[in-house]
Amino acid sequence: MATRRAFLAGLAVASLPRLGWADVGSPDYLAAGKAGDGYVLHGISAAGQSLFQIDLPARGHAAAAHPSQPQAVAFARRPGTFALVINCFTGSVQHQLTPPEGRQFNGHGVFSTDGSLLMTSEVVAEGSAGRIGLWDTRDYSRVDEWATGGIGPHDLKRLADGRIVVANGGIQTDPGDRTKLNIPDMRPNLSLLSASGEMLEQVELPSELRQNSIRHLAHVGEGVAFAMQWEGDAAEPVPQLGLWVPGAAAQVIAPPEAEAMAMLGYAGSIAAVGNRIAMTSPKGGAVMIFDTNANFIATHRRADLSGVAATASGFMATDGQGAIWACDDAGLTPLSSNQTLWDNHLIKIA
């Protein structure tokens, strides 16, 4: 039987106001990076200023922000064996998630609409079959998993109605050293799952583009824009951008011939706002902008551009030298310079 003291202590905790993102400075974005000899996660304002910095045990990749609580989940770079649930108010690690035996995290995750579930992108280590891990956010216990319907899933996005789009990259990797094992036989796809994990729909790329690994996603209207990384002949220019609305075929968008090699076959991150889509390439040192009608708008160049996210009127981008930029049709405008060298992604807090 609980003691009166324990009961009163529990009552006191229950009566405390629930913290929200405003309590940690109302950050608009999360970004991981390298600071000195260590790795960190930052909360970043709409003006490109760091509001808090939290140490990570190893290199991070993407992060997921809880929809209401000041809580972030930082994912290890794939194939990963940890994800940290971080209290952004105190900086403390509340939970360290470890995938079940035979599974590996694949760098991304997303919360359910009400924040009750965390969904993590994973692979079966042997063979790289895709899984979505489900975690109860009351205590971050593992409660279930769903098949993604493909090999090597990476990014996933929750649509407004709760359905999940998964980017199955199509690459089977060695579970130890990430060696790519099936490049000649790749079959990347986009899979649509119901809010309860049922497979609803899949689309594949045309056969001539089957070595274009589908990696990252951004919400566009009732569907997604997707960014790809070419695993075929390096001398052959291929498009790195596509659009998909469930119920229709996927549309691949090619830039003008003069811009075809700007990305060097590698799209790093993707974001969309209004009728604009921005896609970065750290290898090409470029960000490319299209409209949602598949028209090319501009290419802006900056070494090691990688993270990109939507702002109220355009985009924010990060690079591996520590700079944060405002980005629009006209170009890149510096916002801040940091000691942290930014990594792959800039995650918008909804």
Domains, the chain: 18-251 (2.130.10.10)
**Joined tokens for residue 35:** 């600071």
Coil/strand/helix, residue 324: strand
The Cα–Cα gap between 262 and 283 comes to 9
pLDDT per residue of the chain (350 residues) written in tens, 0 to 9: 333 333 333 433 333 357 888 887 778 999 999 999 999 999 999 999 999 888 888 888 889 999 888 898 998 876 678 899 988 888 888 999 999 999 999 989 999 999 999 999 999 999 999 999 999 999 999 999 999 999 999 999 999 999 999 999 999 998 877 889 899 999 999 999 999 999 999 999 999 999 999 999 999 999 999 999 999 987 778 999 999 999 999 999 999 999 999 999 999 999 999 999 999 999 999 999 999 999 999 999 999 999 999 999 899 999 999 999 999 999 999 999 999 999 989 999 87
* CA nearest neighbour of 345 among 62, 28, 10, 21: 62
β-sheet bridge partners, residue 134: 119, 144
Q: Which helix (H) or strand (E) holds 141?
A: strand 141-151
The Cα–Cα gap between 89 and 209 comes to 45
The Cα–Cα gap between 178 and 123 comes to 12
Q: Which string of DSSP letters, residue by residue, matches 165-215?
A: EEEE----B-TTT--B--GGG---EEEEE-TTS-EEEEEE--GGGTTEEEE
The phi and psi torsions of 218 (rounded to 5 degrees) equal: -140, 145
C-alpha torsion angle, residues 303, 307, 311, 316 (rounded to 10): -20
State the amino acid at position 212 in one-letter form.
N
